[in-house]
Amino acid sequence: MFEEKELEKIKQKKDEWEKNLYSKLVKENHELKDKFENLSGIEIKNIYTPNDISHLDYINDMNFPGEYPFLRGVHANMYRGRLWTMRQFSGFGSAEETNQRYKYLLAHGETGLSVAFDYPTLYGYDTDHQLCRGEFGKCGVAISSLKDMEILFSNIPVDKITTSMTINGPAAIVWGFYIANAENRNINRRNIGGTIQNDILKEYIAQKSFIFPPEPSMRLIVDTFEFGFKEVPRWNTISISGYHIREAGSTAVQELAFTLGDGLEYVRWAVKRGLIIDDFAPRLSFFFNAHNDFFEEIAKYRAARRIWAKELKKLGAKKPRSLLMRFHTQTAGCSLTAQQPEINITRVTLQALAAILGGTQSLHTNSMDEALALPSEKAVRIALRTQQIIAEESGVTSTVDPLGGSYYIEWLTDKMEEETYKYFDRVEKLGGVIPAIEKGFFQREIAEAAYKYQKEIDENRRAIVGVNKYKMDEPIEIPILKIDEKGEERQINRLKKLRKERDKSKFEKNRNSLRKAAEGDENLMPYILDCVHSYATLGETCGVLREVFGEYKEPAIY
Amino acid sequence: MEKKIRVLIAKPGLDGHDRGAKVVARALRDAGMEVIYTGLHQTAPMIVETAVQEDVDVIGLSLLSGAHMTLFKDVTKLLKEKGMSDVLVLGGGIIPEEDTPALKKAGICGVFGPGTPCEDIVRFIKKNVKK
Amino acid sequence: MSDLTSRILKGDPRSVAKLITIAENNSSELADEMRVIHRHSGKAYVIGITGVMGSGKSTLIYELARAYRKQGKKVGIIAIDPTSPFTGGALLGDRVRMTDLTMDDGVFIRSMGTRGMLGGLASAVYDAVEILDASGKDVVIVETVGVGQAEVDVVKIADTTLVVLVPGLGDSIQTIKAGIMEIADIFVVNKADRPGIEQITAELESLIDISCIGKDRKIPVVKTIAKDNKGVIELVNEIEKHKEYLKKTKVFVAQRKKRYEAELVEIIRKRLMNFIFDESMFKEKVEKLIDQISKKELDPYTAADEILSKIIK
């Protein structure tokens, strides 16, 4: 990208600058740290120059937005044409309460919906299951049946707005609820848009809300790819996630490497089934974390796009839509502090900005009170406003990939790509993603990184404002969102009523058909939809799959 | 022969967030304790039975899903019934301060929420363990 | 007989656990309790299991325990993990794979740290096995740390020793430490659905052919897929066959004698070390001697003579 002679001159000038100005300064006053490292442990230099990126070829390595390798963005005009979707992850208590919160958020300017489910739902249990004691509605909304889904989206135009659902183990079934609900409202399944997270590999690695063992889980996921491509073409049937891997304690490089590794594994399984890569790849989407190290995060997103494009090309994808990586971002929950909660607003702002400068398609900003509770209305409103201020007032949306060409950013993007490929090699040597999971490779890397990070904080080598530096002795005052206690009773009664009033023979017949299909190798989505339409509950439907597929037990890794 | 402090780290209920539990387990190990980790999805009877067999001095309950009032109390109630109230029971995770008094009343001796340095937990155990 | 012991003989888990703790801490009450316990032990069959990390030992033990439960047998499991030589602490995580057995009152699981003992066992494991035995367990499974050549002590305590291998772990059998290969009564190749299964089985069998020349028993190889509960019944049968072989050839009694010898040695060693290094009177003297050694005023052998001369009169 740069002329040879100019590079020589610059190098010489830099050496002089370092010897004369810089070293003198450092000798007089030591720098604030012995080593400046980012959160992945990559050492950051004092300054970056054209020499650091002289190997880059603009056309081949960077190119223009909307063109391979999509480094600078997946669309030609990015936010000049359309802003990222403001999509706040949300859900608590029963469907009625969450429906109200969705209406609130939509009224305040969010442009996409995102559903958080409670633990019983995430595990495919109905609210009244014995293992679910105390868990109803505490960390998300309880959805046990099609009836609940109907209430959740009542008076919300699901044909005009897209919905993302954070559900993994029972994703296919919950997707079934969503599709069935739309169809019952005379909305064609071809006209609904949204995403199911449906990323089981990261569950084994980080979030741990898996149900079945790897093989049947992958089968179910490929079923959704196939069904989605044929029947629900506007739907992203997977959101390959790094967010949770990061939250579990990984570094940014690990988040990048493990997520993309998972993504490639899904592609391999689908291709093994016989699906054509250009058919399903356009509907694969991703989900990243936006953590504290501002520039590292930006470099991470850019590297992600380039690596994905390269790898999908290697796997034979030809359509540009197959090669471009679309992603949602959420600001880092694990960076929020309970101490001095208002300052979380500042953290979230910086993190959101990084995601936007990194070219995210969709964004969730955390609320300041989320270190200890689900967001109150005021807190979530401020979080939404944070996105709106960046969009309307900061000017960063006026040009595409504003940081492209920055010596530091391009160097760091390259470095992260390099580190990612090192991880790809290691995983390959272990036999691939699933063998590596069974050997506990990812889990161990993450646990190590988490422990190292905590030690740095405990030993005051890493400052967290309000926690180990600039502390205050005031009591932590975070208004805790109160879940309506009566909601659980209402839900259980609703379930009882549903089980009594539905057509029992239809329910039985569909359940048995699902069981038979699960034992074979047909696509399960149509059978799941039949169960859903006959008002089988989540627990009952998932229960069949539990019987056939068995449950997964994880290895103990520290 | 020195006596070791034996600690059970348990995850009650359905919550799958184990980052904190594992970090604390390692920190306690580094402080010279023997740490038994139960893994995920433990019911109160399972936690207490494990505590019996392993004859632990401390039980650390980790929960981030908001169900602590119900599930922590289940454990302390069962311990009381079995005459095991001399076991030090600690709670950690996402626990709002306003819930702490009720938890303490129910038998949780210490609550360690977000931002707690591991040192604090080690110190608390060494100071308060019954042996 | 104390209350504690009588409750143990009735099978009370709380009491079993408490006495194991007393054994681990080598507390003063231990000897009196164990005198009675020992009289009531000897019935349980002891199975030792060793193998590298990642071989699926814990899952295998879980399935084995379930198989024995189906036969109506009561099972004790001792899972040993290494104690850190630097911090003295230990992460005991083997229970995680056996969590479903927690509420079965016919199963008792205890996790132990090696607490400085080399060889893969914990010092108190002999006591723990006898306590579980006396409390009514028909089978006691001891899972050891098994990562190197030195971790072979499991043979000292087990009637049947299983060595668990997995295909494709990177090393061919030739490079696996000799010690581990010699102690097996039964080889288990777990995760038998992995690539490399034919290779490792072939290598094992040729090794066995050589080492069993002239012997009256050929070591069997059992293939298992523990996570799918495959091959477990075959393993149970092979263990049973080995037990019959031991009893028929009277090797059983000879092995048990070796176990009691090891136990006796361990008790004596502990007592001696306690006496020398922990008893306050002697402790000062020892510390002085160590000081002199470091100042090169004295050598370790002379120091040892001095200490031992006080004991061995």
> What is the C-alpha to C-alpha distance for residues A177 and A475, in angstroms, rounded to an integer?
44
- Asked if C148 contacts C36 with a C-beta cutoff of 8 angstroms, the reply is no
**Cα distances (Å, whole numbers) of residue A55 to A301, A303, A411, B25, C9:** 21, 16, 10, 46, 77
A374 Cβ contact partners less than 8 Å away, ≥ 6 residues apart: A92, A139, A481, B66
Residues of chain C in contact with residue A430, where contact means CB-CB under 8 angstroms, are: none
Contact B19 A139 (CB under 8 A): no
User: What band does A512 get if pLDDT is binned at 50, 70 and 90?
Assistant: very high
**Whether residue C155 sits in one domain with residue C60:** yes
For C159, left (φ over 0), alpha (ψ -120 to 50), or beta?
alpha
- Asked if C42 contacts C133 with a C-beta cutoff of 8 angstroms, the reply is yes
**Whether residue C187 sits in one domain with residue C73:** yes
**Whether residue C77 sits in one domain with residue C164:** yes
Q: How far is A550 from chain C (nearest CA, A)?
A: 10
**Best residue of C57, C63, C96, C191 to probe chain A, by most A CBs closer than 10 Å:** C96
Residue type at A40 in one-letter notation: S
| SS3 state at C110 | strand
Tell me what pLDDT residue C169 has: 63
SS (H, E, C) A202-240: HHHHHHCCCCCCHHHHHHHHHHHHHHHHHHCCCEECEEE
Please state the domain count of chain C: 2
Cα of A529 vs its chain's centroid, Å? 26
Residues of chain B in contact with residue A372, where contact means CB-CB under 8 angstroms, are: 94-97, 113-114
> What is the C-alpha to C-alpha distance for residues A177 and A185, in angstroms, rounded to an integer?
12
Residue type at A382 in one-letter notation: I
Contact C96 B31 (CB under 8 A): no
**What is the average pLDDT score of chain A?**
95
- Asked if A252 contacts A416 with a C-beta cutoff of 8 angstroms, the reply is yes
Look at residues C249, C276, C302 and tell me which one is the last residue of a structural domain: C249
Select the residue of A439, A554, A558 nearest C54 (Cβ to Cβ).
A439
* List of chains touching C (3+ CB pairs within 8 A): A, B
- Asked if B87 contacts B59 with a C-beta cutoff of 8 angstroms, the reply is yes
Is residue C99 one of the residues assigned to a domain? yes
Higher pLDDT pick, C285 / A302: A302
Look at residues C198, C224, C249 and tell me which one is the last residue of a structural domain: C249
Tell me what pLDDT residue C73 has: 98
* CA-wise closest residue to B35 among B56, B11, B18: B56
Alpha helices in A68-195 (DSSP H): 78-81, 95-107, 119-122, 146-152, 171-184
Tell me what pLDDT residue C177 has: 57
**What is the average pLDDT score of chain C?**
89
Q: How far is A212 from chain C (nearest CA, A)?
A: 13
* ipTM associated with this complex: 0.94
- Which CATH number goes with the domain that contains C186? 3.40.50.300
Chain A residues 444-463 within an 8 A CB cutoff of chain B: 446-447, 450-451, 454, 457-458
> What is the C-alpha to C-alpha distance for residues C222 and C190, in angstroms, rounded to an integer?
8
Only one residue has tokens 């696996």, namely: C176
Higher pLDDT pick, C273 / A216: A216
Select the residue of B2, B39, B82 nearest C96 (Cβ to Cβ).
B39
Whether pLDDT at A30 is above 60:
yes
**Whether residue C102 sits in one domain with residue C232:** yes
Q: Residues A370, A376, A377, CA angle at the centre, nearest 5°?
A: 135
Residues of chain B in contact with residue C274, where contact means CB-CB under 8 angstroms, are: 1
Tell me what pLDDT residue C91 has: 94
For residue B43, the chain A residue with the least C-alpha distance is: A131
Contact A372 B22 (CB under 8 A): no
**Whether residue C179 sits in one domain with residue C141:** yes
Residues of chain C in contact with residue B49, where contact means CB-CB under 8 angstroms, are: 13, 102-103
pTM of the model: 0.90
A269 Cβ contact partners less than 8 Å away, ≥ 6 residues apart: A218, A221, A222
Phi, psi of C254 (to 5 degrees): -60, -40
**Whether residue C277 sits in one domain with residue C166:** no
Residues of chain B in contact with residue A140, where contact means CB-CB under 8 angstroms, are: none
Tell me what pLDDT residue A191 has: 96
**Whether residue C227 sits in one domain with residue C202:** yes
Give C88-145 pLDDT, tens digit per residue.
Answer: 999 998 898 899 999 999 999 999 999 988 777 888 999 999 999 999 999 999 998 7
> What is the C-alpha to C-alpha distance for residues C102 and C106, in angstroms, rounded to an integer?
10
Phi, psi of B21 (to 5 degrees): -60, -45
**Whether residue C285 sits in one domain with residue C196:** no
Is residue C164 one of the residues assigned to a domain? yes
Is residue C151 one of the residues assigned to a domain? yes
> What is the C-alpha to C-alpha distance for residues C191 and C55, in angstroms, rounded to an integer?
8
Is residue C28 one of the residues assigned to a domain? no
**In order of start, what are the domains of chain B with their CATH numbers?**
6-126 (3.40.50.280)
**What is the average pLDDT score of chain B?**
94
**Average pLDDT of the residues in A176-186:** 97
**Whether residue C188 sits in one domain with residue C73:** yes
Whether pLDDT at A478 is above 80:
no
| C219-251 exposure pattern, b = at least 16 Cβ within 10 A, e = fewer | bbbbbbbbbeeebbeebbebbeebbeebeeeee
Is residue C70 one of the residues assigned to a domain? yes
Give C17-68 pLDDT, tens digit per residue.
Answer: 999 999 999 888 999 999 999 999 999 999 999 987 778 889 999 999 999 9
| SS3 state at A19 | helix
Give B12-64 pLDDT, tens digit per residue.
Answer: 999 999 999 999 999 999 999 999 999 999 999 999 999 999 999 999 999 99
Chain A residues 200-239 within an 8 A CB cutoff of chain B: 207-209
Residue type at A11 in one-letter notation: K
Task: Tell me: cis bond preceding A69? Omega within 30 of 0 counts.
Answer: yes
Contact C54 A554 (CB under 8 A): no
> Is A301 exposed, middle or buried (CB count within 10 Å of its CB: 0-12, 13-18, 19+)?
buried
Give all strands (DSSP E) within A29-142, no chain letters.
Answer: 85-90, 112-116
Contact A480 B98 (CB under 8 A): yes
Look at residues C217, C249, C281 and tell me which one is the last residue of a structural domain: C249
| Consecutive H or E run containing C77 | strand C75-81
**Average pLDDT of the residues in A260-283:** 97
* CA-wise closest residue to B52 among B38, B69, B41: B38
**Best residue of B14, B38, B73, B118 to probe chain A, by most A CBs closer than 10 Å:** B14
**Whether residue C96 sits in one domain with residue C210:** yes
User: Is residue A350 within 8 angstroms of chain B, CB to CB?
Assistant: no
Q: How far is A84 from chain B (nearest CA, A)?
A: 29
> What is the C-alpha to C-alpha distance for residues C135 and C20, in angstroms, rounded to an integer?
12
Is residue C12 one of the residues assigned to a domain? no
Residues of chain B in contact with residue C110, where contact means CB-CB under 8 angstroms, are: 53-54
**Whether residue C286 sits in one domain with residue C245:** no
Helices then strands, each counted (H, E), chain A = 23, 9
**Token pair listed for A305:** 């796009």
Give A329-379 pLDDT, tens digit per residue.
Answer: 999 999 999 999 999 999 999 999 999 999 999 999 999 999 988 899 999
**Cα distances (Å, whole numbers) of residue B39 to A442, B11, B122, C145, C217:** 17, 6, 21, 20, 41
Provide the residue range defining the domain that includes C230.
42-249
Tell me what pLDDT residue A530 has: 97
Select the residue of B32, B46, B53 nearest C110 (Cβ to Cβ).
B53
**Whether residue C164 sits in one domain with residue C130:** yes
- Asked if A533 contacts A502 with a C-beta cutoff of 8 angstroms, the reply is no
Is residue C3 one of the residues assigned to a domain? no
Q: How far is B101 from chain C (nearest CA, A)?
A: 31
**Average pLDDT of the residues in C211-222:** 88
Contact C102 B35 (CB under 8 A): no
Give C227-265 pLDDT, tens digit per residue.
Answer: 889 999 999 999 999 999 999 998 999 999 999 999 999
Is residue C243 one of the residues assigned to a domain? yes
For residue B37, the chain C residue with the least C-alpha distance is: C93
Residues of chain B in contact with residue A120, where contact means CB-CB under 8 angstroms, are: 14
Whether pLDDT at A469 is above 70:
yes
The 8-class DSSP code of residue A372 comes to T
Q: How far is B103 from chain A (nearest CA, A)?
A: 15
Contact C103 B42 (CB under 8 A): no
* List of chains touching A (3+ CB pairs within 8 A): B, C
